[in-house]
Amino acid sequence: MDRINKWLIILMACAIPSFFSGAVTSEIHQRDTVTASGYFEGEEPFWDIDIKDNLLVLRCHAVNRIEKDTIRLSKMQAHTETFAFHAKNIFGILRRSSGNCTLDITEEGNPTHEIYFSYLGVTYMGCGKMTISR
């Protein structure tokens, strides 16, 4: 298993368990709603994501698929701007990069965040810009 996949598994194991367990009630979720908007892209295979007020549009160009869904985000991780997210067929991690995207696989100038996600059994990673409101 390569280094990035190991980190993705570790991040998801730490950030997601209570998020998916149902421990967060709808009342708490409504009070602590996190809204995201942004654009991400990556390659191998090439893909891009638009997020506008938690509505996600994923375009996987290699398999000629478009997925549209509303994502739910977890509360921010305590010490970094890191969020777990999920939709019907997508789950992953969004995190603020430290000045630039260490993955450096985007043509977007000055990316602010990195994204790691799984879709239909394939793990993707990329960079982009994102704004968060609480």
pLDDT at 17: 47
Q: Mind listing the pLDDT tens digit for each residue in 51-67?
A: 999 999 999 987 889 99
Cα 109 to Cα 40, 60, 102, 125: the distances in Å are: 11, 21, 13, 17
28 vs 86, which has greater pLDDT? 86
pLDDT at 104: 58
Q: Is the confidence at residue 38, as pLDDT, over 90? A: yes
How far apart CA 5 and CA 123 sit, in angstroms, is: 8
Beta-bridged to residue 118, according to DSSP, are: 91, 123
pLDDT at 74: 84
Q: What angle do CA 108, 92, 22 make, to 5 degrees?
A: 145
pLDDT (average), residues 128-134:
85
Residues with Cβ within 8 Å of 23's Cβ and at least 6 positions away in sequence, in order, are: none
